[in-house]
Amino acid sequence: MSLDFDSARLANPYLTSEHDEWRTQVRRFFDREVIPYAEEWDEEGAIPETLWPKAAEVGILGLGYPEKYGGIEEGIDIWHQMILNEELARIGVGGISATLMVHGIALPPVVNYASESLKQEIIPQVLNGKKRISLAVTEPTAGSDVAQIQTTARLEGSHYLVNGSKMYITGGMNANWFTTAVRTGDAGASGVSTLLIPADLPGVSRRLLDRKQGWWCSDTATIYFDNVLVPEENLIGLENKGFGVIMTNFNSERLAMSAAMEAFSRVCLEDAAEWSRNRKTFGKRLCDHQVIRHKIAEMKQRINATNAYLQVICAQVAEGFESAGDIALLKVQCSQTMEYCAREAMQILGGIGYMRGSRIERIYREVRVNAIGGGSEEVMRDLATRQFGL
């Protein structure tokens, strides 16, 4: 049995033939429409506009969203979502999934908490790929500690007056709407609300952040709000109850990131194993050297443990049990496994692994954004201990 992306994944008893068909469908799409161009897009720092409607056509954008808004909901479960995240990671260019799928963290608050009129206006246009939405939470002085945000929204008549800025906003340069965390009350979590802000309102401006270690093809931005008047009906959920909206959303984001990081680890293993079979040093294949075999074995061992953890958590969520603490620690497990596998794969490839153009080189550069985004490893551990009553 060859050690590759698929064979390195543990058998999953929850997957059916329908899940296998979904994997085949999305893999065929990525093999045809994305992988041949992924490196070029990353180097150029942008994804073509045509990718969104193409992804919508095959059901990628609408997966799991209500059918009345153009989504695909019937028969869809968490395993369909995890398969999609795996196949996106197989591309080996993290910036593609970060931007193409950013609605996965920005749209759920609208679906779950917004007024019906907002849902009708926004959800269909995002799911068909014609419009985009980004999540705007992080600020220059507040990242994982969402309760400390300073962007203010003061109700004046029928509009909120918004002032402040957001930083490191994925998809921010091309978004049509921002699902935004704002302060409508006193300090702390109890004063946070969630507000949908159209990007074309007067007073909204943005600046491209293009000096990044990774995710080059993802448009990351700083967003500025200067006396922006946002209609009161754009409030998502209740005033001063937005912290719960955002925190609930984080669980699904961290789970998606975890699935991607576990899959990135298998990409590293696949490319390292293939290189070790073909590269010769000191008269024999790399994989005939015990030290290299042990590196690959250790990678597979850690991937096994991480994949098993991921399966258990997904199964629990599918049954309606969602532990924020266990999901937080899963994210840490996955980022550490990704980091280890990226490092060891880079060691096995040697000089060629350091050159641009390989999946391992790109994944190596994108370890930190995965370990920090959605909640840093340190914050995740602390969150878990608090969830467990310490």
- For the chain, which ranges sit under pLDDT 70? 1
Whole-Å CA distances, 107 to 119, 286, 350, 365, 371: 10, 47, 42, 28, 23
Q: What is the pLDDT of residue 315?
A: 97
Pinpoint the residues of the chain covered by CATH 1.10.540.10: 17-127
Catalytic annotation on 319? no
Tens of pLDDT, residues 299-351: 999 999 999 999 999 999 999 999 999 999 999 999 999 999 999 999 999 99
Pinpoint the residues of the chain covered by CATH 2.40.110.10: 133-240
3-state secondary structure of 44: helix
Instruction: Spot the catalytic one: 39, 239, 253, 262.
Output: 253
Whole-Å CA distances, 296 to 299, 335, 366: 5, 18, 21
Pinpoint the residues of the chain covered by CATH 1.20.140.10: 244-387
Is CATH 1.10.10.60 the classification given to domain 133-240?
no
Tens of pLDDT, residues 337-355: 999 999 999 999 999 999 9
What's the alpha-carbon Rg for the chain, to the nearest Å? 21
- Domain at 17-127, CATH homologous superfamily: Acyl-CoA dehydrogenase/oxidase, N-terminal domain (1.10.540.10)
Q: What is the pLDDT of residue 1?
A: 65
Other Cβ atoms closer than 10 A to 284: 9
Q: What is the pLDDT of residue 147?
A: 81
Is CATH 1.20.140.10 the classification given to domain 244-387?
yes
- pTM equals 0.95
DSSP 250-315: HHHHHHHHHHHHHHHHHHHHHHHHHHHHH-EETTEEGGGSHHHHHHHHHHHHHHHHHHHHHHHHHH
CA end-to-end span of the chain: 46
Please give the structure tokens belonging to residue 184.
């409508």
Whole-Å CA distances, 109 to 34, 102, 133, 351, 380: 29, 13, 11, 45, 22
Quick check: 171 and 129 in contact, CB under 8 A? Answer: no
Other Cβ atoms closer than 10 A to 115: 14
Q: Which class for 49: exposed (0-12), middle (13-18), buried (19 or more C-beta within 10 A)?
A: exposed
